[in-house]
Structure formats: structure tokens, C-alpha cells
Amino acid sequence: MPEKTTKPKTMDLSLKIYDKLSLAMGSSGTAYRGGLLALARAFQSLPSFRRGNHVWNSGELPAGLYYNLEAVFAEEDVQPDGKSIVRLVLPDQLFFCEETYFYNEPSTTRMRCITSGSVWHVSPSDYAAVHREYGLGYDLINLLSLKSLGEYLARTAQLLQCTPKVRLEQAVRQYPSLLSALTREELASFLLLSRSSVHRILRKTYCRG
């Protein structure tokens, strides 16, 4: 019998990544269609991540772009007096280390796996090769930086302007799998609430404690 091949699956995944890249580029993506396809095909699978594994740690230079197929990750700011979750990466999302991707600086955060799954990555050398041929790198960086800034501003507004109950409700609408993916302590960290507040709201609103 012939050996089984994963090529069709890999091709399907490349198209999923291409769709994500095109969405990030918006109307600018039409001019870079060939480059975006080449970049999507350059993504390679990494070893599967399990809960507690890190994609990167503080002080490292995790260059390149990542595509999260099915896991859930929490980007954490770890300080001597504790840690806080600054961002969640859910399935079917592109992600990257902002300090390294934008400024070529070491990371000040760590990216920790919350729910097991697969991640794909394009290396800096492959990214540079696609950029040399198609010239899309700078525009992609600019548009991803604007998207990242927009997400940061939206999250900041949510944390500053909303009551704890509304904050949790908005987060669950934005991340439907939030309640099952995060522990109550992690949920409190992400929403900048006390654990007692999270328990109280979950009991009253979602009948969960």
C-alpha cells in the first residue's frame, strides 16, 4: 500500500493562514497576493504544545510569525510581585512577540500554553526571503502594528470603563471559550479582578463558581 501523505492537509492549512494574512492586510493585500501565498506556504509546524509549555520566555528573541491552529495561549507579564495576563491567543489566530517583531528587542513577556494544540511558524530567514522577492514585509508589519494597537486600546477601554460584571460579559462574548479555557485565577488576572469578584459574578450570571 502507498504511504499516507499529509500534503493535502498542509495545503488546506496554508490556505487558512493565507486567509488570515489577507485579512490582516485588508485592501492592501490584493497587490501582494503572490507574496502572501508564498509566506503562508513557508509556515512550518512546531512540536505540539501542552498546558504549561512556553512558546517564548522573557528575555528571548522569538522572531517570526506564528499561527495558532487549535491551542489557547496566555501572554503573561511576570514580575517579582506576581504575574498578569496581558493577551489571549485563541485558535485560528496569527500572533507574534511585539518587541521582537517590531523592534528586534528581547521579549518582556512569556507566552504560556493554556490548552494543548498545534502551532505553525515562519522563520525570520524564510520571512526575509519572501520579503526580498515580493516586498510585502514592511506593509505587513505596519498593518499588524495598527491591528495590535487597536486591540490594546480596546482592551484598555474595557478594563477602565466597564464594571466588573460588564467586563466579564464582554470578554465572554469576545472569547466564547474563555470560561472553559482559563482557571478562575487566570480569568481574574486577565480581567484585572479579584478571584472573589470572578466567583461572585460567575455564580450570579452564569450559575458557575
Average pLDDT over residues 131-157: 78
Q: For residues 21 and 28, give the distance between their C-alpha atoms in angstroms, rounded to a whole number.
A: 11
Q: For residues 74 and 77, give the distance between their C-alpha atoms in angstroms, rounded to a whole number.
A: 10
Residue 3 is predicted with a pLDDT of 39
Q: Pick the most confident of 9-13, 77-81, 96-100, 165-169.
A: 96-100
**How confident is the model over 151-186, as pLDDT tens digits?**
766 777 766 677 888 888 877 777 777 777 888 888
Every domain of the chain and the residues it spans: 7-161, 162-209
Lowest mean pLDDT among 5-14, 31-40, 93-102: 5-14
Mean pLDDT of the chain: 83
Q: For residues 59 and 55, give the distance between their C-alpha atoms in angstroms, rounded to a whole number.
A: 13
CATH number of 7-161: 2.60.120.10
Residue 147 is predicted with a pLDDT of 78
Residue 4 is predicted with a pLDDT of 39
Q: Is the pLDDT of residue 40 over 50?
A: yes
Residue 28 is predicted with a pLDDT of 67
Residue 5 is predicted with a pLDDT of 38
Nearest alpha carbon to residue 88 among 197, 204, 20, 186: 186
